[in-house]
Amino acid sequence: MYIPTYDDVLAAHERIEPHIHRTPVLTSSYFNDLVGAELFFKCENFQKAGAFKVRGASNAVFGLSEEDAKQGVATHSSGNHALSLSYAAGRRGIPCNVVMPRTAPQAKKDAVKGYGGIITECEPSTSSREEVFAQVQAKTGGDFVHPYNDPRVIAGQGTCSRELMEQTDGVDIVIAPIGGGGMISGTCLTLSNIAPETEIIAAEPEQADDAYRSFKAGHIIADDAPVTIADGLKVPLKELTWHFVSNHVTDILTASEQEIIDAMKLTWKRMKIVMEASCSVPLATILKNKDRFAGKRVGVIITGGNVDLDTLPWIK
């Protein structure tokens, strides 16, 4: 298992800079007053392809040798990693094969196709996904870019907190959502090198709290099929992300489904930004643990904005 280093983050940043946005950091006097802290929202919902995942995906795609790039890339994902890898592969002009469950939202499939991704559908089960993916990879020879358990992907995600620290002149705490742990691992990698005193807090839905339980137990606990509105956070930690989480994360906080929805709606209302349920989890945990954050400078990573606008969770 290769553990990426901060040099990999620096190389990633140089490699992906032409293909990503340096996303803005927004502040809100409303939320500052509400929490009694200074919050800095790193808006990856404004990122290319609508999510931070384009950082890691671009690093993998543009880091391939000419020879390896010929076969293109391949992955399995029903979400933002599929869009991001399709986007990056499209920019490089190489094929991108994505295995998606046939039950994935049509809008997501359309977006993947819009970026030039080639979809092969599987049944919505782990066994079908793995079986179909093995066939696709055997046929295409595409380089497998895992959504998070890949050193190239983690190094790419690490560029986000590097920008955040530059844009804010430093913070006391960085908080980000945790699913498979790619963003948190990139954050750990960067901050443990350039700001080792900065606390790193992961935020997770109560109904998909496998990372929280892993963190407490000291080993990976993976759930079969957690159910949460934060659909980007259902996947389990893997060995590489567990390495970073277990070594560098200060704390994991959780929020209920209603707290997540309330934080999501409140952010749309007060900050006028469209963000996913998954990235509302950090703010939800901040609002229920104000004492933990009071008086601190807090970086909050808004991980994505790819929302189905036709089915908002507060409109029944």
* Burial label, 125 (beta-carbon count in 10 A; 0-12, 13-18, 19+): exposed
- Measured at the CA of 232, the angle between CA 116 and CA 127, to 5 degrees, comes to 75
Given the complex with a copy of itself, which of 105 and 170 has the nearer CB atom? 105
Shortest CB 37 distance to a copy of itself, Å: 20
Shortest CB 250 distance to a copy of itself, Å: 29
Given the complex with a copy of itself, which of 24 and 36 has the nearer CB atom? 24
Nearest to 38 by CA among 293, 303, 268, 304: 293
Contacts of 301 (CB under 8 A, 6+ apart): 42, 44, 52, 160, 161, 164, 174, 175, 176, 177, 183, 187, 279, 282
Shortest CB 268 distance to a copy of itself, Å: 5
Given the complex with a copy of itself, which of 194 and 274 has the nearer CB atom? 274
Shortest CB 29 distance to a copy of itself, Å: 8
Shortest CB 235 distance to a copy of itself, Å: 23
Shortest CB 144 distance to a copy of itself, Å: 29
Given the complex with a copy of itself, which of 1 and 316 has the nearer CB atom? 316
Nearest to 42 by CA among 153, 147, 190, 151: 190
Exposure letters 43-66 (e unless 16+ CB within 10 A, then b):
bbbbbbbbbbbbbbbbbbbbbbee
Distance CA 301, CA 104 (A): 25
3-state secondary structure of 230: coil
3-state secondary structure of 109: helix
CA atoms within 13 A on the CB side of 202: 36
Given the complex with a copy of itself, which of 208 and 307 has the nearer CB atom? 307
Given the complex with a copy of itself, which of 45 and 137 has the nearer CB atom? 45
Nearest to 84 by CA among 236, 282, 306: 306
Given the complex with a copy of itself, which of 24 and 141 has the nearer CB atom? 24
Pair 256, 206: CB distance under 8 Å: yes
Shortest CB 272 distance to a copy of itself, Å: 4
Given the complex with a copy of itself, which of 10 and 273 has the nearer CB atom? 273
Q: Which H or E element spans position 39?
A: strand 38-43
Q: Which residues pair with 301 in a beta bridge?
A: 42
Residues that bind a copy of itself (CB under 8 A): 24, 26, 45-46, 50, 107, 265, 268-269, 271-275, 305, 307, 309-310, 312, 314-315
Shortest CB 4 distance to a copy of itself, Å: 29
